[in-house]
A and B are shown apart, each in its own frame.
Chain A
Amino acid sequence: MKLYETVIGLEVHVELATKSKIFCSCSTEFGGEPNSHCCPICIGLPGTLPVLNKKVVEYAIAAGLALNCSITQKCKFDRKNYFYPDLPKAYQVSQLYLPLCRNGYIEIETEAGKKRIGIHEIHIEEDAGKLIHDAFEDGSLIDYNRCGIPLIEIVSEPDMRSPQEVIAYLEKLKMILQYLGVSDCKMQEGSLRADINLSVRELGSNQLGVRTEMKNMNSFKAIARAIEGESKRQIELLEANKAVIQETRRWDDKLNTSISMRSKEDAKDYRYFPDPDLPPMEISQEWIDQIKGRQPELRDEKVERYQRDYGIPAYDASIITGIKKLAELFEETVEICGKAKEVSNWIIVELMRLLREEEMEAEDICFAPVNLAKLIQLIEEGKINRTVAKEVFEHIFKENVNPEEYVEQHDLSLVSDDGLLRSVIEKIILENPKSLEDYRNGKDKVIGYLVGQTMKEMKGKADPSMVKDIIYDLLNP
Chain B
Amino acid sequence: MKEITKMTALALGQMIKKKEIKVFEAVLAQLEAIKQREPSYHCYITVLEEEALQMAKKVQEQIDAGLLEDSPLAGVPVAIKDNICTKGIKTTCASKMLADYVPSYDATVIERLKAGGAIIIGKSNMDEFSMGSTTETSYYGATKNPWDKERVPGGSSGGSAAAVAAGEAFFALASDTGGSIRQPAAYCGVIGLKPTYGTVSRYGLIAYASSLDQIGTMGKSVSDCASSLELISGYDPKDSTSIKESHFQYRDALVEGLKGMKIGVPKGIWKAGLDPENAHAIQEAIGLFRNMGAHIEEFEMESMEYAGPSYNIIACAEASSNLSRYDGVKYGFRSMEYEDLEDLYIKTRSEAFGEEVKRRIMLGTLVLSSDYYESYYKKALKVRSLINRSFQKAFEKCDILLTPTTPTTAPKLGTSLSDPLKMYHTDTYNVAINLAGLPALSIPCGLDSKGLPMGLQLIGKHFGEKDIIRAAYNFEQSGSLVSNGNEF
Docked complex Cα distance between A412 and B405 (Å): 94
B250 located at the interface, meaning its Cβ lies under 8 Å from any Cβ of chain A in the complex: no
**Contact count A vs B, C-beta below 8 Å:** 93
Docked complex Cα distance between A83 and B241 (Å): 26
Taking CB atoms, residues of chain B closer than 8 Å to A51 are 237-240
Taking CB atoms, residues of chain A closer than 8 Å to B329 are 85, 88, 142
Taking CB atoms, residues of chain B closer than 8 Å to A311 are none
Q: Which residue of A lies closest to B342 (CB)?
A: A83
User: Closest Cβ of chain A: how far from B243's Cβ, in Å?
Assistant: 10
Taking CB atoms, residues of chain A closer than 8 Å to B98 are 46
User: Closest Cβ of chain A: how far from B311's Cβ, in Å?
Assistant: 14
A: contact size bracket = 20 to 34
A91 located at the interface, meaning its Cβ lies under 8 Å from any Cβ of chain B in the complex: yes
B: contact size bracket = 35 or more
Docked complex Cα distance between A44 and B207 (Å): 12
Q: Secondary structure at chain A's binding surface: helix, strand, loop or mixed?
A: loop
Taking CB atoms, residues of chain A closer than 8 Å to B434 are none
Q: Are A40 and B325 in contact (CB under 8 A)?
A: no
Q: Are A49 and B365 in contact (CB under 8 A)?
A: no
Given contacts A47-B85, A47-B205, A271-B368, contact A83 B324 (CB under 8 A): yes
Instruction: Pick the residue among A43, A91, A272, A278 that contacts B330 (CB under 8 A).
Output: A43
A296 located at the interface, meaning its Cβ lies under 8 Å from any Cβ of chain B in the complex: no
Which residues 6-46 in B have Cβ within 8 Å of A in the complex?
none
Given contacts A47-B203, A83-B345, contact A269 B370 (CB under 8 A): yes
Which residues 30-67 in A have Cβ within 8 Å of B in the complex?
40, 43-52
Most interface-central of A45, A47, A48 (chain B CB within 10 A): A47
Which residues 324-355 in B have Cβ within 8 Å of A in the complex?
324-325, 327, 329-331, 341, 345
Q: Are A46 and B240 in contact (CB under 8 A)?
A: no
Q: Are B206 and A46 in contact (CB under 8 A)?
A: yes
Which residues 94-110 in B have Cβ within 8 Å of A in the complex?
98, 101, 103-105, 107
Q: Are A90 and B240 in contact (CB under 8 A)?
A: no
Taking CB atoms, residues of chain B closer than 8 Å to A90 are 321, 324-325, 327
Docked complex Cα distance between A140 and B91 (Å): 28
Q: Are B238 and A49 in contact (CB under 8 A)?
A: yes
Q: Chain A, 249-279, contact with B by CB distance < 8 Å: what is the 0/1 string?
A: 0000000000000000000010111001111
Q: Are B241 and A40 in contact (CB under 8 A)?
A: no
Taking CB atoms, residues of chain B closer than 8 Å to A40 are 104-105
Given contacts A47-B203, A81-B324, A81-B368, contact A276 B240 (CB under 8 A): no
Q: Are B324 and A91 in contact (CB under 8 A)?
A: yes
Q: Are A273 and B324 in contact (CB under 8 A)?
A: no
Q: Chain B, 194-233, contact with A by CB distance < 8 Å: what is the 0/1 string?
A: 0000000011111101110000000000000000000000
Taking CB atoms, residues of chain A closer than 8 Å to B103 are 45-47
Most interface-central of A142, A269, A273 (chain B CB within 10 A): A273
Docked complex Cα distance between A90 and B321 (Å): 8
Docked complex Cα distance between A91 and B241 (Å): 19
Q: Are B240 and A47 in contact (CB under 8 A)?
A: no
Taking CB atoms, residues of chain B closer than 8 Å to A278 are 240
User: Closest Cβ of chain B: how far from A441's Cβ, in Å?
Assistant: 90
Taking CB atoms, residues of chain A closer than 8 Å to B239 are 49, 51
Which residues 361-386 in A have Cβ within 8 Å of B in the complex?
none
Q: Which residue of B lies closest to A44 (CB)?
A: B325
User: Closest Cβ of chain B: how far from A467's Cβ, in Å?
Assistant: 73
A89 located at the interface, meaning its Cβ lies under 8 Å from any Cβ of chain B in the complex: yes
Q: Chain B, 283-297, contact with A by CB distance < 8 Å: what is the 0/1 string?
A: 000000000000000
Q: Are B318 and A46 in contact (CB under 8 A)?
A: no
A461 located at the interface, meaning its Cβ lies under 8 Å from any Cβ of chain B in the complex: no
Q: Are A49 and B202 in contact (CB under 8 A)?
A: yes
Taking CB atoms, residues of chain B closer than 8 Å to A89 are 324-325
Docked complex Cα distance between A49 and B200 (Å): 14
User: Closest Cβ of chain A: how far from B410's Cβ, in Å?
Assistant: 30
Taking CB atoms, residues of chain B closer than 8 Å to A142 are 329
Q: Are A47 and B368 in contact (CB under 8 A)?
A: no
Most interface-central of B101, B330, B377 (chain A CB within 10 A): B330
Instruction: Pick the residue among B202, B321, B330 that contacts A79 (CB under 8 A).
Output: B321
Docked complex Cα distance between A90 and B326 (Å): 9
Q: Are B324 and A277 in contact (CB under 8 A)?
A: no
B403 located at the interface, meaning its Cβ lies under 8 Å from any Cβ of chain A in the complex: no
Q: Chain B, 389-419, contact with A by CB distance < 8 Å: what is the 0/1 string?
A: 0000000000000000000000000000000
B385 located at the interface, meaning its Cβ lies under 8 Å from any Cβ of chain A in the complex: no
Q: Are B324 and A45 in contact (CB under 8 A)?
A: no
Q: Are B321 and A273 in contact (CB under 8 A)?
A: yes
Given contacts A46-B85, A81-B324, contact A279 B105 (CB under 8 A): no
Further contacts, 11 of them, CB under 8 A, given A47-B203, A48-B204, A51-B239: A44-B325, A46-B91, A46-B325, A47-B85, A47-B107, A51-B237, A79-B321, A81-B324, A273-B318, A273-B321, A273-B368
Give me 25 A-to-B residue pairs in the complex whose CB atoms sit less than 8 angstroms apart, sorted by A's number: A40-B104, A40-B105, A44-B325, A45-B105, A45-B331, A46-B93, A46-B98, A46-B206, A47-B85, A47-B205, A47-B206, A47-B207, A48-B203, A49-B239, A50-B240, A51-B238, A83-B345, A85-B329, A89-B325, A91-B321, A271-B320, A272-B368, A273-B373, A276-B211, A279-B241
